[in-house]
Amino acid sequence: MPWTQILFRMLEVFPQTKTYFSHYADLSVKSSQVRTHGKKIIDAITSAVNHIDDITGTLSSLSTLHANTLRVDPANFKLLSHTILVVLALYFPAEFTPEVHLACDKFLARVSHVLADKYR
């Protein structure tokens, strides 16, 4: 499944992101923690898709979590968004037209903005 690739690819291609997952026992593509977490990320993005009129409200608690508890550097959201686009292109080459690429890029930028909004 595509989501099993997302987090693994980000960790491989942008190894600086590994610092946030140092508590995981295994960071390989076979890691159940990496796969499970990739699914959680996609589920959160799916709920943003389903509440496209209120992305801010939908992701509010996740935004607090990333800003206050996890303290993920906002620059990393771009790296994850890029990885998601690459995985979509790989798994859905026919559907991944320039229009879809543009729409997904805009949407992920919006989600990233919301998730990074509580950094002060």
The contact set with ligand ZNH (CB under 6 A) reads 17, 20-21, 37, 40-41, 44-45, 62, 65-66, 70, 72, 76-77, 80, 111-112, 115
CB of 98 to ligand ZNH, least distance (A): 22
Q: How many CB atoms lie within 10 A of CB 115?
A: 24
| Tokens representing residue 70 in the block | 């996890």
Token pair listed for 27 = 């960071």
DSSP output for 28-40: STT-HHHHHHHHH
Closer residue to ligand ZNH, CB minimum distance, 13 or 90:
13
Q: Which two tokens stand for residue 98?
A: 């320039």
Q: Which is nearer to ligand ZNH, 20 or 96 (CB)?
A: 20
CB of 30 to ligand ZNH, least distance (A): 17
